Chain A
């Protein structure tokens, strides 16, 4: 829709006026917050859920096994990342903004996705290629987990990720549809797309 003279004439208000009471956040002088993910969180998650457990199990690496492991991993991650010991200011602000705007996707969910990647494979290269209120896309380059699965002859490693992120979506209370564009064997590129339902 092109905005023209008539449309604009109907617009009233002062842009500097607060949108709603209590919406404006002010600097808290003297506060020293911490941001980003502490290394100790990675150690804590790994102590409870060692990556090796995915590959050294006596059980067959079936779809059911991957799904169960994905759920277990996310439970461990959520317990740790939301604990007093590891919660950071970014998390507080994401939650505050979600409360103020009523919008929980993508970032309340994305926080768990990002923490999962950093906790499981902190040295991997990955990026977020889209983060709108409708869609989130996360692209991994040469996923080290995918590589290890491939060495074991497992090509449906996304089952593990899907199960983990499904658990995260349930925790956040936002239904998402997940798709995976996985080329781990060839270019090593793997892109997960999450669409808010």
Chain B
């Protein structure tokens, strides 16, 4: 279990604890700006997007201490407000039974990073009671929303997985989970900041992928699926090789393998990477 599970898991994985998806629908109405919700834009925190420019400056200057200070300050804030963790497809499908309502929405990251038009960009999911107030934040819900049943959401999640998107849970005021992302490098701000800057707004998942070399036929189906630079083809054996230090446990390689040669194993079962979140 990761540190978030220890604090908010109630004995299980924190993102499978229904309590972390529940929140009140109502409070007594406030006056003025707060009444309009302008103070609480769900995506204002931006998974580190606000401090990356500063981080780039620090990296160019070669001042490692400065870089680490920026990361540490930003993460301290992020872990109280807005961060994410990679989950497997099976976990994602379980979550769709314990969170409600479920609303397809456009992905802000892909819109900004890749200029994706709204009609081709319904790859994010807003969840929980906050979604009833989606109209408060027109920019976040650019393109509109589409409320779906758990069964429709599961079908949709599998389409996204098939298209090769990493599935994550996203916190909006720890430990409240208000979003389920499905994204890819380099579109996803969270994945990109983690891979390019080792900025841990996005935590690794509870599993890692392991190759059964007897079963692997070297078909390369899995290679293009990894968003985390963890998968390679071993030159001498023509078999898939997974760098466990780099693996985030998303399982995209597992479902791409026609030979069932890749499986997900519990991160905690491998002492060398057990605490590598």
A136 to chain B, nearest CB (A): 8
Contacting pair A122 B28 (CB below 8 A): yes
Which residue of B has the minimal Cβ distance to A26?
B144
CB neighbours (8 Å) of A12 from chain B are: 159
CB neighbours (8 Å) of B162 from chain A are: 8, 11
Given contact pairs A11-B158, A27-B141, A35-B136, A5 touches B148 in the complex (Cβ within 8 A):
no
Contacting pair B135 A37 (CB below 8 A): no
Contacting pair A131 B100 (CB below 8 A): yes
CB neighbours (8 Å) of A24 from chain B are: 144-146
CB neighbours (8 Å) of B147 from chain A are: 23, 25, 96-97, 100-101
Looking at the complex, which one of B24, B90, B104 makes contact with A127 (CB distance below 8 Å)? B24
Count: A-B pairs, CB below 8 Å: 168
Given contact pairs A8-B162, A23-B147, A128 touches B24 in the complex (Cβ within 8 A):
yes
CA of A177 to CA of B84, assembled, Å: 35
B22 to chain A, nearest CB (A): 4
Interface presence of A111 (CB below 8 A): yes
CB neighbours (8 Å) of B100 from chain A are: 103, 106-107, 131-133
CB neighbours (8 Å) of B141 from chain A are: 27
CA of A130 to CA of B22, assembled, Å: 5
Given contact pairs A11-B158, A114-B26, A130 touches B146 in the complex (Cβ within 8 A):
no
CA of A129 to CA of B25, assembled, Å: 12
B105 to chain A, nearest CB (A): 10
Contacting pair B26 A111 (CB below 8 A): yes
Given contact pairs A19-B104, A36-B35, A102-B149, A5 touches B26 in the complex (Cβ within 8 A):
no
Interface presence of B271 (CB below 8 A): no
Contacting pair A128 B145 (CB below 8 A): no
A: contact size bracket: 35 or more
Contacting pair A94 B159 (CB below 8 A): no
Interface presence of B254 (CB below 8 A): yes
Contacting pair A128 B101 (CB below 8 A): no
Contacting pair A36 B29 (CB below 8 A): yes
CA of A3 to CA of B260, assembled, Å: 11
Contacting pair A132 B18 (CB below 8 A): yes
Q: In chain B, residues 137-165, which have Cβ atoms closer than 8 Å to a Cβ of chain A?
A: 138, 141-142, 144-150, 152, 155-156, 158-163
Interface presence of B218 (CB below 8 A): no
Contacting pair A25 B26 (CB below 8 A): no
CA of A32 to CA of B136, assembled, Å: 9
Interface presence of A67 (CB below 8 A): no
Interface presence of B119 (CB below 8 A): yes
Interface presence of A18 (CB below 8 A): yes
Given contact pairs A13-B155, A15-B163, A90 touches B22 in the complex (Cβ within 8 A):
no
CB neighbours (8 Å) of B46 from chain A are: none
CB neighbours (8 Å) of A35 from chain B are: 29, 35, 37, 133, 136
Contacting pair B257 A42 (CB below 8 A): no
CA of A126 to CA of B122, assembled, Å: 35
CA of A133 to CA of B18, assembled, Å: 11
Interface presence of B21 (CB below 8 A): yes
CB neighbours (8 Å) of B24 from chain A are: 114, 126-128
B166 to chain A, nearest CB (A): 14
Task: Mark B50-71 against chain A: 1 for CB-CB distance below 8 A, else 0.
Answer: 0000000000000000000000
Contacting pair A25 B28 (CB below 8 A): no
CB neighbours (8 Å) of A56 from chain B are: none
Contacting pair A4 B159 (CB below 8 A): no
CB neighbours (8 Å) of B159 from chain A are: 11-15
Contacting pair B258 A18 (CB below 8 A): no
Contacting pair A34 B35 (CB below 8 A): yes
Given contact pairs A18-B146, A34-B29, A132 touches B97 in the complex (Cβ within 8 A):
yes
Given contact pairs A3-B89, A11-B162, A25-B144, A36 touches B28 in the complex (Cβ within 8 A):
yes
Contacting pair B135 A27 (CB below 8 A): yes
Most B CB contacts (10 A, CB to CB) among A100, A127, A133 go to A133
With A107-B101, A132-B98 known, 19 other A-B pairs at CB within 8 A are A2-B90, A3-B158, A11-B155, A15-B104, A15-B123, A19-B156, A23-B148, A25-B147, A28-B135, A36-B27, A88-B29, A90-B26, A94-B132, A110-B25, A127-B24, A129-B18, A129-B19, A131-B129, A132-B97
Sample (12) of A-B pairs whose CB atoms are under 8 Å apart: A13-B155, A15-B163, A16-B119, A28-B135, A35-B35, A93-B135, A97-B101, A103-B101, A110-B25, A128-B22, A130-B18, A132-B21
